[in-house]
A and B are shown apart, each in its own frame.
Chain A
Amino acid sequence: MFHIYCPYCEELREEEEFHPKGEAHIARPEEPEACSDEEWGDYLFFRDNPRGIHHEMWLHAVGCRKFFNITRNTVSYEILETYKMGEQPTVGAEHLAREEKTASVQAAEGGQQTVGASDAALASVKGAQA
């Protein structure tokens, strides 16, 4: 049992009231007819499954019934931010890398999962810079 901040209700609400709805920020192809089968299949069915930072949609199902976004760490389950539909996240993979550098001592003791997440996050930062 934990609390999630709904950006529309503007308060923390019980997790039971919410439903996860999958990866966020997937843009619908502007011209579906012009897509190849592979592009359309990617859009419809294929989702990232990152270890670390993930931006995903949630629904405040028993509440305001609005969709909104959550930035979540898939390793620790920590929710880093919630924001409305149409808005952009302020927390990305570099956040995780930074945070774990400062907590490197703990990360080293904390077992493989945390260290792995840090590596993945750093790799994706490099990817973004390239």
Chain B
Amino acid sequence: MSNSVHVYDARADHATVTAESPLAYSFQRSGMPASGEASGEASGEKSRAVIGERAFLGHLILRGGAIVLDEALREVLGVGLPGRPNSLTVDADGQRSVQWLSPDEWLLIVPGDETFGLETRLRAHLGGAHVAIVDVSAGQTLIELSGEAAHEVLMKSTVYDVDPHAFTVGKGVTTLFAKTNVILRRPDASRWELIVRRSFADYVYRWLLDAGEEYGIGVARESRHEPQ
């Protein structure tokens, strides 16, 4: 068997087509209620829960043995694999993260323009090791939820225990969210991250608008990231 794997830069940065975030159409169709922070006194009330989309990030699925992947990742990215189940490691500036998904599977999230270079360097470092690296960036998106009532919105939506004392910072799980799958994690004390399938992003967005209505949920304006 050959070790040669064809790796493609799947990002459209240098293409002439404009990339649309998975929620672009949802924002248009379902609206983007103001989060109350930007508008301040004009809208009167401050949202107790705020949605933000972080689109166009690089999502890589790593599969294989923990030891060989951990070594390669430390070398290439300077971040180790989280060894404990349901845990999450975030690098110093909070831009890159690795999450345990199953005993032989991790989710690596990096800034979008780093994805291809990182995959190439990881493959070079891993050589013929028995691993798989799959770029799933186009298949899922990351939705952020913040605000003092963020966990209350989650409590209405998921069967997992999201009490902030039980779901501590650095934890991440795959679980059910409003009857669909979600990867739910807490990178720091102020934010929750939901990673959802692209095709379910609109559904989850509209669910959040509905579930968060009583908390005056709003959408952070800066969440309309354009690819650099």
Which residues of the partner chain B approach A62 to less than 8 Å between Cβ atoms? 174-176, 181
The reply on A10 being an interface residue by CB < 8 A is: yes
**Is B101 engaged at the interface, CB distance under 8 Å to the other chain?**
yes
Nearest chain A CB to B88 CB, angstrom units: 14
Q: Across the interface, do A16 and B174 meet the contact criterion of CB distance under 8 Å?
A: no
**Number of B residues, CB within 8 Å of A:** 13
Contact B102 A65 (CB under 8 A): yes
Known: A13-B175, A17-B176, A63-B173. A8 touches B103 (CB 8 A): yes
Residue-wise interface mask of B (68-86) relative to A, using a CB-CB cutoff of 8 A (1 in contact, 0 not)? 0000000000000000011
Tell me, yes or no, whether B159 is within 8 Å of chain A by CB.
yes
Q: How many A-B residue pairs have CB under 8 A?
A: 38
Residue B25 at the chain A interface, CB threshold 8 Å: no
Q: Does A64 contact B (CB under 8 A)?
A: yes
Give me 6 other A-B pairs in contact (C-beta within 8 A), A10-B86, A16-B159, A17-B159 excluded.
A8-B102, A10-B85, A14-B160, A14-B175, A63-B175, A64-B102
Chain A's closest residue to B176 (CB) is A62
In the assembled complex, which residues on chain B have CB atoms less than 8 Å from the CB atom of A17?
159, 175-176
Complex Cα spacing A51 to B105, Å = 38
- Chain B residues within an 8 Å CB radius of A14: 159-160, 175-176
CB-CB contacts below 8 Å: B158-180 with A = 159-160, 173-176
